[in-house]
Amino acid sequence: MSEYFTSHDDILENKLGITDPQVLKQIEDEIVPVRTAEIYSSFPVKAFDFDMLRKIHFIMFSDLYQMAGQVRNVDMVRGDNRIPFCFTQNIDQEQRRIFGILNQENDFVGLDREAFVKKIAWLSSELNALHPFRDGNGRAIRAFLVLLAAHAGFELDYSKVDKDELIEADVRAFLGDVSSLEEVYSQSILIQKQ
Ligand SMILES: Nc1ncnc2c1ncn2[C@@H]1O[C@H](COP(=O)(O)OP(=O)(O)O)[C@@H](O)[C@H]1O
Ligand SMILES: [Mg+2]
């Protein structure tokens, strides 16, 4: 059992001292969307880097969790996967590689829609494999990508895609096939801004 867990089953240690997972989920589902809306309306983007992703995670989750904005210190495996997400000892090196590519490619500004779809699918699969936080990776990464897309001139609207389809595509990408994720981003999510 990691230090992130209370003695109760599968509930993240939280600032409110909640021990009932359903109550915690209910409160999380109320607070996080409010913080996410704040991020969309007023996040002060300086650079599309790892620090920005951590800040987004902090804003989303700091009402609830001490671990908000902090890189996880436990290795994690998900679902039926036989390989874990990035080992904690490699997270810093990996984030430098991923954001290095993003920044070197001018944060994907100036691409046409088709090219951008491929790049954002790649980035989202890399960030998911990095999985830098103990929880909340999906939500923080999606908010980061919405802001990145806006900066590059595209509107990214995840409400247009089925949640299960997106997760299935994430899983496939994690196993090495990014095509479903490209499909998801291409058909359901991106609209060229005026
Ligand atoms: N079996 C899996 N293999 C790879 N990625 C997965 C798997 N299951 C879920 N995911 C990814 O992990 C994300 C959920 O991570 P998590 O840290 O729990 O974020 P959140 O709490 O915001 O949902 C999903 O959005 C999906 O992208
Ligand atoms: Mg989660």
Cα(118)–Cα(148) distance, integer angstroms: 14
Which of 57, 171, 178 to mutate for ligand 1's pocket (most ligand atoms within 8 Å of CB)? 171
Tell how far the Cα of 105 is from the centroid of ligand 2, in angstroms. 30
- Rounded to the nearest angstrom, the distance between the alpha carbon of 79 and the centre of ligand 1 is 9
User: Strand, coil or helix: what is 190?
Assistant: strand
What are the φ and ψ backbone dihedral angles of 94, each rounded to 5 degrees?
-70, -40
Nearest CA residue ID for atom 3, ligand 1: 171
| CA distances, 162 to each of 45, 118, 167 (Å) | 28, 19, 9
Q: 183: which DSSP letter?
A: H
Q: How confident is the model at residue 79 (pLDDT cuts 50, 70, 90)?
A: confident
Ligand with the closest atom to the CA of 161: 1
104-135 exposure pattern, b = at least 16 Cβ within 10 A, e = fewer: eeebbeebeeeebbbbbbbbbbbbbbbbbbbb
- Whole-prediction pTM value? 0.95
Ligand 1-lining residues (CB < 6 angstroms): 78-79, 81, 128, 135-139, 167, 170-171, 174
Q: What pLDDT does residue 193 have?
A: 59
Residues 78, 80, 81, 85: what is their CA dihedral angle, to the nearest 10 degrees?
Answer: 0
Instruction: Please give the structure tokens belonging to residue 61.
Output: 């989750």
Share of residues in the chain with pLDDT > 70 (%): 92
Q: pLDDT digit string (tens) for 29-54?
A: 999 999 999 999 999 999 999 999 99
DSSP 8-state class, residue 153 = T
User: Residue 153 CB: number of other CB atoms within 10 A?
Assistant: 15
Atom of ligand 1 nearest to the CA of 81: 1
Instruction: Name the 3-class secondary structure at 155.
Output: strand
Burial class of residue 170 (count of CB atoms within 10 Å of its CB; 0-12, 13-18, 19+): buried
What confidence tens digit (pLDDT) does each residue in 183-192 have? 999 976 676 6
| Burial call 22-42: b when 16+ CB within 10 Å, e when fewer | eebeeebeeebeebbeebeee
The SS3 call for residue 54 is helix
Asked if 92 and 73 count as a contact pair (C-beta separation under 8 A), the reply is: no
CA of 156 to the centre of ligand 2 (A): 21
Given this model, what pLDDT does residue 80 score?
86
Q: Which of 32, 125, 146, 170 to mutate to test the pocket of ligand 1 (most atoms within 8 A of CB)?
A: 170
Pick the atom of ligand 1 nearest to 174's CA. Answer: 4
The ligand 1 atom nearest the CA atom of 80: 1
Class of domain 21-192: mainly alpha
Closest ligand 1 atom, CA of 78? 1
